[in-house]
A and B are shown apart, each in its own frame.
Chain A
């Protein structure tokens, strides 16, 4: 099982450039999430998709857009990258309708540097 797959693993962007982080899960989960991790800040929620066809803002959505392409895929787009978006990005998924196995499963992360 691949679980949650994120691409790319590393990326360097120039200020103002755009890019899309891709995420796919093969666990038939209904909910998917994008987090960013910064030193001393833990993981902060950027956007989430509770189910296919819906997306909502999390704690730190400014500068980002998302697309829930289908049940498997959830992409994160930076339209005009800024140095403040230098971070490690994690995609995660969960089966939020079940009472058991309620944890989120994470991808390996993308280290993004904006110069």
Chain B
């Protein structure tokens, strides 16, 4: 099974600053997808950004961008101009493009605190 590792259980950032959350994964596959999900205190799982492994270009969504390093199996999330509403648990997830069921494998999460 693919393993997803988030090595930072907690991170802190000041409002308006930039923070990077780390994620590494282990796979022997070449075709897969990577995701970052946000879980605020409401418990709802919200997709932040997705990356297809066959695309070399890093995905961006407004203030959120990723640094996808396929050879290094690294997928970090950069949040620019941090806002108080960005405070949440962030999960990195991997999904095979070929295996049956295509279930997401999640890391253990990084809790992001945003200070005024």
A residues neighboring B (CB under 8 Å)? 31, 33, 35, 40-45, 48-50, 56, 58-59, 88, 90, 92, 94, 96, 99, 102-104, 106, 108-109
Interface size of B in residues (CB-CB distance below 8 Å): 25
Residues B53-107 near A (CB distance < 8 A): 91, 95, 97, 100-107
A102 touches B50 (CB 8 A): yes
Contact A40 B9, CB 8 Å, known A103-B47, A108-B44: yes
A50 touches B44 (CB 8 A): no
Most chain-A Cβ atoms within 10 A of its Cβ — which of B9, B52, B91, B102?
B102
A-side contacts of B35, CB under 8 Å: 103
A96 touches B1 (CB 8 A): no
B-side contacts of A90, CB under 8 Å: 45
> How far apart sit A96 and B109, CA to CA, in the bound complex (Å)?
24
Contact A108 B50, CB 8 Å, known A43-B91, A48-B101, A59-B1: no
Most chain-A Cβ atoms within 10 A of its Cβ — which of B35, B47, B101, B106?
B101
> How far apart sit A69 and B103, CA to CA, in the bound complex (Å)?
19
10 contacts between A and B (CB under 8 A): A33-B101, A42-B107, A42-B109, A43-B106, A50-B102, A58-B103, A102-B95, A104-B103, A106-B45, A109-B43
